[in-house]
Amino acid sequence: MPPFPEHLEADVIVVGASPAGLRAAWAAAREGASVVLLEAREEIGVPEPLAALAFDALWTAEAHAPPEAVRSRLEGLRVQTPGGATVTVEAAARVLDRTRFDRHLAQEAQAQGATLRLGVRQLTIAGSGHLQAEGLSVHGRALLFADGARSLAHRLLTPYRDPTALLWGAAHEVRAPWAETTRFAALQVGSHAPGGRTQLTPAGGDRWLHWTFVRGSAEETRAAAEAAVARLHAEEVTFRGLGVDPVLTIPHELVGDGLLVAGGAAGQGGLEAGLAAGEAAGRVAGRAALAAPPGGVVRAAALRPYEREWKREFLPGYLRLRSVLDHLARLSDAQLDALAAPWNGRRIPAATVQGLSHRVAAVRALTAAGALARNPRAVLPFLRLALPALGEPEGVRELTRKQEA
């Protein structure tokens, strides 16, 4: 007969040692809750996660990256159109060593009292507050899932308002001599990546990490990525893997009875957003678990402050990003070139980009007017091609109405 499984009990069970999961474990333990984090990998940060670019202006979490976890610092982002027009956005960023960074987050969580259980296999949801794995039975008053875009929690919640907007991403590591001299990440939009983009991030020395994001299937994304990489004429190309980016799916349900989602599991794409969401979710889960009556699981109403806080602080930005990227995806390559031509070679302060993405329409309009006053040649292309992106396209308006309801 098989041996009885080991049984673990905790106030908060976190699933997934992503940055969101590690910060959730840290935050819940800091509240005084007992915390167990379950992770399938045998080692934190191995293999090294590929998402490593973090913009300073988007980093609102309490977590910090120690110097040894920062591979390089960048001055900003260069956006290029199919015809070669380039606009530089001055937005300071860091390229992280994700193995060192994730291990740092794990050490902080453990220092607060969280228990990390690695090598957990065949994890399933066995009932309310109950998880089972190979040789393991786990019960928690709150289950917090931070296990990525294919989360187990999707059986119980609908975290994505629009799952069709999921982007597949194919990553390649490329070696090229021009990598040594750059202080910028690069992003290109256009028909070569339908509904998405390609992105180049310096990876140290003469190496880059090249991403191709496509709103389609894994196969379509891999084919688009191979074609995009071929145009780089790199000296060496290594395929690193496929992943998914849920940033355009628009987060919806973030909590249920005894259940929370954070990071990619919640549609909160981006390293910076995952860290902030994990901290908020862990804080609320820890407090709710300690305040609830003995027995059973924490009710959804006690976890709802996390969902309200996140949507108040971050959802408007996600809706605005969706609006802009959807609009750009509808433009032809020729229209993208025409829109960017008057800005070719110019540098745009990060404050201008933040103003153009502001939740208040008047702020967006004033920011656009100020930028155009400094570049009169851009007025006509802006009126013809970019103005609709500052409004609310019908699809995003409908998503907003449903979200508020």
Residue with tokens 């329409």: 361
3-class DSSP state of 115: strand
In a domain, 318, yes or no: no
The whole-angstrom separation of Cα 340 and Cα 378 is 8
Q: Identify whether 47 is preceded by a cis peptide bond (ω within 30 of 0).
A: yes
| 191 plus 334 within the same structural domain | no
- Phi first, then psi: give them for residue 244, nearest 5 degrees: -125, 150
| 383 plus 303 within the same structural domain | no
Is the pTM value of this prediction over 0.75? yes
DSSP one-letter string for 234-285: -SEEEEEEEEEE-TTS-B---EETTEEE-GGGGT--SHHHHHHHHHHHHHHH
Residue 37 neighbours by CB distance under 10 Å: 30
| 289 plus 142 within the same structural domain | yes
- The Cβ-side half-sphere exposure at 180, using a 13 Å CA radius, reads 4
Q: Are 232 and 176 in contact (CB under 8 A)?
A: yes
In a domain, 58, yes or no: no
| 362 plus 294 within the same structural domain | no
| 360 plus 213 within the same structural domain | no
Per-residue pLDDT of the chain (405 residues; tens, 9 = 90+): 356 679 999 999 999 999 999 999 999 999 999 999 999 999 999 999 999 999 998 899 999 999 999 999 999 999 999 999 999 999 999 999 999 999 999 999 999 999 999 999 999 999 889 999 999 999 999 999 999 999 999 999 999 999 989 999 999 999 987 766 788 999 999 999 988 899 999 888 888 999 999 998 999 999 999 999 998 888 899 999 999 999 899 999 999 999 999 999 999 988 999 999 999 999 999 999 999 888 789 999 999 999 999 999 888 888 888 888 888 888 999 999 999 999 999 999 988 887 877 767 788 889 989 999 999 999 988 888 876 655 544 444 555 455 444
In a domain, 61, yes or no: no
| 186 plus 265 within the same structural domain | no
Residue with tokens 């998880």: 131
Which residues have CB under 8 Å from 117's CB, separation 6+?
8, 36, 37, 38, 39, 136
| 20 plus 105 within the same structural domain | yes
In a domain, 274, yes or no: yes
Structural domain that includes position 271: 6-52+97-160+249-313
| 253 plus 309 within the same structural domain | yes
The whole-angstrom separation of Cα 25 and Cα 35 is 6
| 241 plus 381 within the same structural domain | no
| 267 plus 223 within the same structural domain | no
Number of domains in the chain: 3
In a domain, 59, yes or no: no
| CATH code, domain with 186 | 3.30.9.10
| 173 plus 197 within the same structural domain | yes
| 85 plus 105 within the same structural domain | no
